[in-house]
Amino acid sequence: MVTSTKYTDMTGNQIMADGICITWDSMTNLPIPAATQPCITAGTGVPTFSAKKGTVYIRLDGAAATMMYINNNGATTWSVVTSA
């Protein structure tokens, strides 16, 4: 199931209109509660908005080393995903 989510930055500006939210837990075969559903989002620049833990952000203007981020605390802390 795909749902629309609207995120805002620290100043209240909308920065993402639609995202694909993960609604089902593949390991347990159970629904994920809406309050904890991570999403897949995209945009330009380093993510600074608050999102649910596990949300993935694809940076459209990033170099290879900074193209993907994951939210690791359910707030505004993002970590760059690196590959070997």
The reply to whether 37 falls in a domain is yes
Total count of domains within the chain: 1
Q: What is the pLDDT of residues 60-82, one digit of tens each?
A: 998 888 899 999 999 999 999 98
Residue 20 lies in a domain: yes
Specify the pTM.
0.74
**Residue 46 domain boundaries:** 7-80
- Asked if the structure places residue 1 within a domain, the reply is no
Contact between residue 30 and residue 17 where contact means Cβ atoms under 8 Å apart: no
List the one residue out of 26, 20, 61 whose CA is nearest residue 44: 61
In the numeric block, the tokens 């380093």 are attached to: 46
What's the sign of the alpha-carbon dihedral 39, 57, 75, 10? negative
Residue 2 in domain = no
CA–CA separation, 43 vs 56, rounded Å? 11
- CA-based R_g, the chain, Å: 13
Give a yes or no: residue 62 inside a domain. yes
Length of the chain: 84
Q: Which two tokens stand for residue 59?
A: 């940076």
Higher pLDDT, 63 or 9: 63
